[in-house]
Amino acid sequence: MIKLGIIGAGRIGRVHSESITKYVKGAEIKAISDVKVTPELTQWAKEMGIANVYEDYRQILQDPEIDAVLVCSSTNTHAPISIEAATAGKHVFCEKPVDADPVKIREVLAAVEKAGVKFQVGFNRRFDHNFKAIKQRVEAGDIGEPHIIRVTSRDPDAPPIEYVKVSGGMFFDMTIHDFDMIRYLSGSEVEEVFAVGQVLVDPAIGEAGDIDTAVITLKLANGAIGVIDNSRKAVYGYDQRAEVFGSKGAVQTRNDTDSTAIYSCASGVIAEKPKYFFLERYMQSFADEMICFIDAVVNDKPTKVNGNDGLQPVLIALAAKKSLDERRPVKVSEVG
Amino acid sequence: MIKLGIIGAGRIGRVHSESITKYVKGAEIKAISDVKVTPELTQWAKEMGIANVYEDYRQILQDPEIDAVLVCSSTNTHAPISIEAATAGKHVFCEKPVDADPVKIREVLAAVEKAGVKFQVGFNRRFDHNFKAIKQRVEAGDIGEPHIIRVTSRDPDAPPIEYVKVSGGMFFDMTIHDFDMIRYLSGSEVEEVFAVGQVLVDPAIGEAGDIDTAVITLKLANGAIGVIDNSRKAVYGYDQRAEVFGSKGAVQTRNDTDSTAIYSCASGVIAEKPKYFFLERYMQSFADEMICFIDAVVNDKPTKVNGNDGLQPVLIALAAKKSLDERRPVKVSEVG
Amino acid sequence: MIKLGIIGAGRIGRVHSESITKYVKGAEIKAISDVKVTPELTQWAKEMGIANVYEDYRQILQDPEIDAVLVCSSTNTHAPISIEAATAGKHVFCEKPVDADPVKIREVLAAVEKAGVKFQVGFNRRFDHNFKAIKQRVEAGDIGEPHIIRVTSRDPDAPPIEYVKVSGGMFFDMTIHDFDMIRYLSGSEVEEVFAVGQVLVDPAIGEAGDIDTAVITLKLANGAIGVIDNSRKAVYGYDQRAEVFGSKGAVQTRNDTDSTAIYSCASGVIAEKPKYFFLERYMQSFADEMICFIDAVVNDKPTKVNGNDGLQPVLIALAAKKSLDERRPVKVSEVG
Amino acid sequence: MIKLGIIGAGRIGRVHSESITKYVKGAEIKAISDVKVTPELTQWAKEMGIANVYEDYRQILQDPEIDAVLVCSSTNTHAPISIEAATAGKHVFCEKPVDADPVKIREVLAAVEKAGVKFQVGFNRRFDHNFKAIKQRVEAGDIGEPHIIRVTSRDPDAPPIEYVKVSGGMFFDMTIHDFDMIRYLSGSEVEEVFAVGQVLVDPAIGEAGDIDTAVITLKLANGAIGVIDNSRKAVYGYDQRAEVFGSKGAVQTRNDTDSTAIYSCASGVIAEKPKYFFLERYMQSFADEMICFIDAVVNDKPTKVNGNDGLQPVLIALAAKKSLDERRPVKVSEVG
């Protein structure tokens, strides 16, 4: 039974707490910290059976019983806290993105390596049943050489403008998952990026300096071509599909739905909409990434989303942003 | 190039005329007859390129150039005209049902055999692409031994009450196709029938002595169990599906639609309704059954829907009616 | 926080224990009993956090802290233990079937009523997401008047012959769920049953006095017709589908799969097989039925699967067996 | 009854001849010409009921009875023959592409305008049932403002290298249809193109100076983004799908198959592969484009694929080629 500390009790910190409690055997949350400890948080922690609630995450790092920490604090603190935690000898699960600055990510990776601790980045979609099914076909050789990798990733609704202003932009807060997915499904690195972006959903997003609709083309080291299409708002729900096409075949996934029911009536044949958003769609993957992390810690295995997996999508996002700004294809090596 | 005569210029006679003209190479319609030759019919025949229009079908039977006839007249004349045609040395394509009376059907079969002509019954659904795909899986052995054969057959709307009164009842005018399909897909004869029927669509159908909703269970000679569900009215369109389940797997078909378009919107994910009715759904099968018949005539092959295939569904329908009336399972041999 | 005792630590007792631990808030398992307490069971209970393991279920009934019990013992003990538990003032969740004898079921219902405790029967499929989606369409009036209710229920493989010999027969151990489903989906009682059964999967099943393939037709009080098709062995996995067809439309469900992946290759377009068996397919429904039961106990609501829901499927199974034996339709009132 | 002449008796000339004969009422093919009149062609024309077969297409243009011609000759002759035909007062149906040189296309359009004849370009896919279903949703406003238009277009196998060498390249012989489809579905013009291309299917294609795999991103005048993915070889068959996503929803189409049969067995759940290639997939659309053309001629309506529709895809293809060569986004106005 290993003991965990969770740093940051916002939405994602609580998602991990709940999925660990429910699904992850052999791990126990000993403490959680947040910059603001409210009575509500204290009550929630009690219900979750978490014994300690701190304002200062250093109390977690100083607890010798705690083996590993989950860095779920605000994005700008991911890198420094990860470094501190690794230096304190804790294994680190860090939410994505590690940082928007590759230099800082590399500092984290250096600290992790020096400390010899496990490090996993929160690209939970790799653990999703549908994407895993694609990956298995690719790895089994059923697709042959991959030629085209497509990811459709559309949110059910745009985030608040306040969020858009601080998120780092769509490529960093949303497409970052898709950049990871292209690498994961293709088994290859991205070399060059070309991004087309528009403001079609809400002019306020444009005024905040971001886009809400994009198609990004990616040239991969293995010759394959990746293509991502994004929208901040799909009125029918969270649209999360992917396809790998290659020399021996293709594999694609559709959206998950709450049920398989099909209703036929005078006005048409009606199926259910996709599950609403990421909590509904990816809940099990949050548990499964944690099971993987705990397994890596307990059994001294490599994690399945390592430091380079944390770095590359950020580089791709930087290249995509530069491509959008300069209206030309940009090599990932230009921003690295 | 063989020459055909069509007896009966109602809906089905014209369906055959049009599909022969469009799709059937090596055959030409030389004459058509109808008990009532209207100017409209004459005009239509002219447009179809049919040279002769008669009131008396005997003119067709007496034309030595005509090789084969299609009996598309009213049901009660199918048997006598088929006998006359066979006796005149014409190959016979007879619309279903041959007759409601097994005795008369057997007389037709005897006449056909004596004359040594080809005889095919209009169970066009055997030539439908979906049902053929099931049949091919069965014949390829992919299903293994068939255990359960299911046919769902629902019309988009009930026929006029005047039709219900003279049609011989739902088992004879509608389910007859499904009885044939069970035999075709299973490759086995039906031994016993149990029918449950209700009047749920329209009380007037009950007042006319018929039912509009039914489930019929059939025990087959090879041990398999068949089951048919029927309705006179499916508000979403013509529902025509089937499934064969066996020791090595199952094969099922869905409905055809006008397009594969799927529309996702705030209220659901909407596909198209099934093709509306039998003309839309089965048009190609009418052409294909005719191609088969012409091939049998020209190349002296057996037809694919022979005399026994005309007889058995009528026996099954009689057993189903008796089962419904007497509220007990009825052996086909009881009515034969 | 209510306290539960589980009587019977076989497969289903453990399924409930695990789903309660994972998913059911506000309930705690205080004790479990089994006729044979092995070290393995003791160890398992410890891991589950169950404090007490007894050989004698009476220790559970005598514990005043325990509010409710789950009767998961062998079928022949369901009725007497349920009576004892109710008499001891415990709320009762009883696995299906309550008993094969309607007289004994009625005794249970009388005891429950007298004691004024909650009683719920383990027809978990009512809580399945797919069947619930059908039910919601029916209750919303989207189907109109139900005309035909179809249930396809096929196991992935036949149970061991030893099980077949003691199970009471396919109608009691397998179709019983489908009888319940017909009642649940139609919202109507079954009045008459006609069953056709065959031994097509394994002759040994026939030698053990049972069948392995069946089609059962049911006449319902509201005029609708139900039809169930069963097989002990579907080589492609657990086939669990249903459809309700009515005056305003139809709703049907397909099987669940592990992922939505579709693989297209030179030999075809390949989707995943259905989830293997009931543990994979219905796991969430076991949790949800328990949430319902706890809710009924805590908030003094009626349970969603009550005493009559436990009785009727047994009556229908008896009628189906009689129909099979006597080769005739049998009214449920004949066996009641 | 209008009279047609067909110039060019290669594959596409014969496809049109057969579909006109079968499906197009009110039109009759009076003559066909080909640079090489073989006995096989003469025999075929006889079977088709085409009275005249010429080596010199001018005989068709000089026949005052012929109202309209189909230019189905080799691509480099499309423009001059179209001009000659228009000048001779014939209505012109011209196969795509009109020419690879926009200057020549504009000369054709000028000649057509001057002569006051109808002109239609052979973008048959606009008449396909699936693409039309998308278009109808767009035009009905069900999609709202289009944001993303996706076209997947993959051939079942690469053409012979000899063809690749003279075809003008993949963008001109294959993607040209997809460029048209993006314009058709979006209802907007393409302003800028970025193309990524690779040689992944066959090195010989690269040696011949072409690519076989591509993703092309298109910025449209209305702000929407188009994206096309192409491959010369999809081992599972002809992959022809599209999707329009917008502010109010999305509509997508799947591939057509020969039947809807689904086979479930121990190794998976298997559906049919897409129809093999364009003759199977788009046969009906060849007939329907011709019905449209005849209707335009007879009833003096505008054609549905006009001169600009012939010009724009060629401009887009030129921009795509330039983008590929210069590794940068290229405005369509740069090549116009």
pLDDT tens across A222-257, in order? 999 999 999 999 999 999 999 999 999 999 999 999
Specify whether the CB–CB gap between C218 and C316 falls below 8 A.
yes
Per-residue confidence at A268, pLDDT binned at 50, 70, 90? very high
Residue A227 touches partner D, C-beta closer than 8 Å: yes
> Measured between CA atoms, how close is A73 to chain D, in angstroms?
34
**Alpha-carbon span C110 to A188, nearest angstrom:** 68
Q: What are the C-alpha distances in Å from D8 to residues B42, D15, D75?
A: 38, 11, 11
C-alpha A254, offset from chain centre: 19
Which residue of C23, C134, C260 is in closest CB contact with A254? C260
> Measured between CA atoms, how close is A272 to chain D, in angstroms?
14
Residue B265 touches partner A, C-beta closer than 8 Å: yes
> Measured between CA atoms, how close is C213 to chain B, in angstroms?
7
Mean pLDDT of the B284-299 span: 96
**Alpha-carbon span B321 to B169, nearest angstrom:** 9
pLDDT tens per residue across span D194-244: 999 999 999 999 999 999 999 999 999 999 999 999 999 999 999 999 999
Residue B295 touches partner C, C-beta closer than 8 Å: no
Per-residue confidence at A336, pLDDT binned at 50, 70, 90? confident
**Alpha-carbon span D256 to B263, nearest angstrom:** 17
Chains linked to D by 3 or more Cβ pairs within 8 Å? A, B, C
Mean pLDDT of the C108-135 span: 98
**Cβ-based contacts of A239 with chain B (< 8 Å):** 264
Q: Classify burial at D21, counting beta carbons within 10 Å of its beta carbon; exposed 0-12, middle 13-18, buried 19 or more.
A: middle
Q: Which residues of D241-275 are buried (b: 16+ CB within 10 A; e: fewer)?
A: bbbbbbebbbbbbbbbbebbbbbbbeebbbbbbbb
Who contacts A325 (Cβ-Cβ below 8 Å, separation ≥6)? Answer: none
**Alpha-carbon span A19 to A14, nearest angstrom:** 8
Q: Provide ipTM, 2 decimals.
A: 0.95
Which candidate in A239, A255, A264 is best for mutational testing of the B interface (most B CBs within 10 A)?
A: A264
**pLDDT number for residue C122:** 97
Residues in chain C: 336
Q: What percent of chain B has pLDDT over 70?
A: 100
Which residue of D150, D247, D327 is in closest CB contact with A329? D327
pLDDT tens per residue across span B177-236: 999 999 999 999 999 999 999 999 999 999 999 999 999 999 999 999 999 999 999 999
Flag whether pLDDT at A23 surpasses 90: no
Mean pLDDT of the B310-319 span: 98
Chain A residues 272-291 with CB within 8 Å of chain D: none
**pLDDT number for residue B222:** 97
pLDDT tens per residue across span B55-76: 999 999 999 999 999 999 999 9
**pLDDT number for residue D125:** 97
Per-residue confidence at D24, pLDDT binned at 50, 70, 90? confident
**pLDDT number for residue D230:** 98
Flag whether pLDDT at D167 surpasses 90: no
> Measured between CA atoms, how close is C150 to chain B, in angstroms?
9
Mean pLDDT of the D64-91 span: 97
**Cβ-based contacts of B269 with chain A (< 8 Å):** 236, 270-274
Residue D66 touches partner A, C-beta closer than 8 Å: no
Q: What percent of chain D has pLDDT over 70?
A: 100
Residue D265 touches partner B, C-beta closer than 8 Å: yes
C-alpha B158, offset from chain centre: 18
Mean pLDDT of the A254-273 span: 97
pTM: 0.95
**Cβ-based contacts of C217 with chain B (< 8 Å):** 194, 196, 215, 217, 227
Q: Which residue of D has its CA nearest to A226?
A: D215
Question: Cβ of A225 and D235 within 8 Å?
Answer: no
**pLDDT number for residue D166:** 87
Residue B245 touches partner C, C-beta closer than 8 Å: yes
Q: What share of chain A is helix, strand, coil (3-state, %, to 5)?
A: 40, 25, 30
Q: What percent of chain D has pLDDT over 90?
A: 96
Flag whether pLDDT at C53 surpasses 90: yes
Per-residue confidence at B167, pLDDT binned at 50, 70, 90? confident
Per-residue confidence at C32, pLDDT binned at 50, 70, 90? very high
Chains linked to C by 3 or more Cβ pairs within 8 Å? A, B, D
**pLDDT number for residue B22:** 84
Q: Which residue has the higher pLDDT, A174 or B21?
A: A174
**pLDDT number for residue C23:** 85
**pLDDT number for residue A24:** 87
Which candidate in D231, D236, D263, D272 is best for mutational testing of the C interface (most C CBs within 10 A)?
A: D236
Specify whether the CB–CB gap between C116 and C302 falls below 8 A.
no
**pLDDT number for residue D105:** 97
**pLDDT number for residue B229:** 98
